[in-house]
Amino acid sequence: MKRKTVATLMLAALPIGAHAANWLQLQGNEPKDTGYYKLWGFFQPTYTYIDADPIRGLGGAAAPFNGQLTAANRVGPRLEDNEAFQFNRARLGVRGNIIPEKINYFFLTEFGRNAITSERDTAITDASVTFNYIPGARIRAGLFKLPTSEEALVAVHTSFPYVYFSNAATSLLIETQYRSTGAVNSSGASNGAADSGGSGFRDIGIQVYDWFNQGPWEYSYALMVSNGGAIDQLYDNNGSKDITGRLQAAYIFNKSKGPNREDASVWVWHQNGERTFGGRDFDRIREGVGARIQKGPWRATAEYLRGEGMIVAGPNPPFPGQPVQIGLNDKADGWYVEGGWRFHKDWEVDLRFDTFDRLTETAALERKFDTTTLGVNWYAYKNTRVTLNYEWRTMEVSNPSAIPAGVQLNNANLVADNLGDRASLQVTWFF
C-alpha cells in the first residue's frame, strides 16, 4: 500500500465523515512529494452549554458549596461557568522530509483552550522525527501520540465526528500529573493536586512500528517506550518507563487507499507504567480492544478500555479548587459503541453510547457514568465542518448501601442527580 500521511489527510481529504485509516502510518510518515517543509494547522471555535442548575441541599462539610455549579457542570478547562465560547483547539505546525522516504518530521503547537493548555497559554503537542531505514521497523522519536485507543489516535480535525471524547478515553487516557496533598492511602482514595496540564494522549519516547500488506489484509504493530511524565518535561520523574504496544489487522475493501479507505479492522493495545505519588511508586496500567467497519455511507465502531492502579476520580467535594480524589490501587473500565450514516454528500448523522465505571474496587466511591450523544455533521467545504452534539448524561451512585445513611448518602445522590445534559456546537477549519 502506497504510504500516505497527515499531509495527504489534510490537503486531499474529501468530506467523508469519520475516516477509516491506519493512524500509526498516517501520523508517523510523510510522502516524498511533501517536500522539506509545509505549514499546516486547524482551528476549532466551540460553544458549549450544560443544562444544569447550582446544587442545593448539601449538608455537613459540603454545605458551603450550596448554590454553586459542580465541576462536572462547568465547561473546561477553566471551569468558570456552565456555558462558554472558546477556541477548543487552535493548532499550527510544520511537517516534511529531511531526507525524502528516509527521515521525516512532525511539529505542532497548541494555542487553544483545552486540557493541554490548562496550565499555560501555549504548548507543544508534537515534536518527532521518524527514521525509515530498517525494513519492518520504522523508528519514531520525540513527543507524539501513544499507540493506544483508536479514539486517542484519530486526527480530530478531519476524522473525529464528535466534539467531546467518550468518558472512558477522557478519564483513563488524558493524563495529568498529580502530587500528594495529604496522607497516602494504598486502599480507598488519597488527595492530590495537579502538577501539569493534560497529556492529550501523548508522551515523550521512542516507538518502533510498521505495517505489512498481504492481499486485501493489512497488519500493523507499534511498541513505544516513553517517560510517563508531563509532555512539557524532557526528563522522567522516576526510574520507570512506560511500555505501550498495539496490534491491528484490517481488511481493506475494493483496494481503497489513504485516509478515506473503506475497511474492517480490529485492534488490541496495552500500556504498563508507574507513577510516583507521595514518595511511593504505584502502577498505572491501561489496555483496550476494539473493532471498526466503514463501507459506503455507513460506519460503526466499538471499543472497550480498562485501567488498573492509579485511577483519578476528580475533585472531592466535586467543585473547582478542591483536592483531587485518586485511587492508587483501584480499577476502572468503560466502553463505547458508535455509528454514523452519511445520508447526503454534505450531511452525516452520528450516534454514540458510552459508559464508564470508576473506582470499582472501593464500593463507597464507585460511580458509573452513561452518556448518549446525538450528533450532526455538515461538511460545508472540503476543509470546513460544522458539528452539533447533544449529550444525555447520567451519573449513578453504584453502591448506596456502602455509604453511611444520612448526610453522606444524601450528598452523593444530590451530586449524581444534578449532572446536566450538554450541548455543543463546533466549527472545524483546517489548511
Q: Is residue 131 part of a domain?
A: yes
Q: Is residue 112 part of a domain?
A: yes
Q: Is residue 292 part of a domain?
A: yes
d(CA 383, CA 128): 25
Give the H/E segment covering residue 415: helix 407-417
Closest CA to 171 of 338, 354, 18: 354
Owner of C-alpha cell 505519588: 277
Per-residue pLDDT of the chain (431 residues; tens, 9 = 90+): 333 333 333 333 333 444 567 899 989 999 888 899 999 999 999 999 999 999 999 999 999 999 999 999 999 999 999 999 999 999 999 999 999 999 999 999 999 999 999 999 999 999 999 999 999 999 999 999 999 999 999 999 999 999 999 999 999 999 999 999 999 998 889 999 999 999 999 999 999 999 999 999 999 999 999 999 999 998 888 889 999 999 999 999 988 776 668 999 999 999 999 999 999 999 999 999 999 999 999 999 999 999 999 999 999 999 999 999 999 999 999 999 999 999 999 999 999 999 999 999 999 999 999 999 999 999 999 999 999 999 999 999 999 999 999 999 999 999 999 999 999 999 999 99
Total number of domains in the chain:
1
Q: Is residue 411 part of a domain?
A: yes
| Region of 255 on the Ramachandran plot (φ > 0 left; ψ -120 to 50 alpha; else beta) | left
CB 145 within 8 A of CB 334: no
Give the H/E segment covering residue 91: strand 83-99
d(CA 129, CA 387): 33
Helix or strand or coil: residue 412? helix
Q: Tell me how long the chain is.
A: 431
| Region of 181 on the Ramachandran plot (φ > 0 left; ψ -120 to 50 alpha; else beta) | alpha
Q: Is residue 1 part of a domain?
A: no
d(CA 222, CA 136): 11
Predicted model pTM: 0.92
Q: Is residue 386 part of a domain?
A: yes
Helix or strand or coil: residue 163? coil
What CATH number does residue 370 fall under?
Answer: 2.40.160.10
Amino acid at 248: Q
HSE of 21 in the Cβ direction (CA atoms, 13 Å)? Answer: 29
Tell me the residue range of the domain where 23 lies. Answer: 6-430
Residue 341 C-alpha cell reads as 450514516
Over the Cα atoms of the chain, what is R_g?
21
Residue 226 C-alpha cell reads as 516513553
Closest CA to 258 of 43, 31, 49: 31
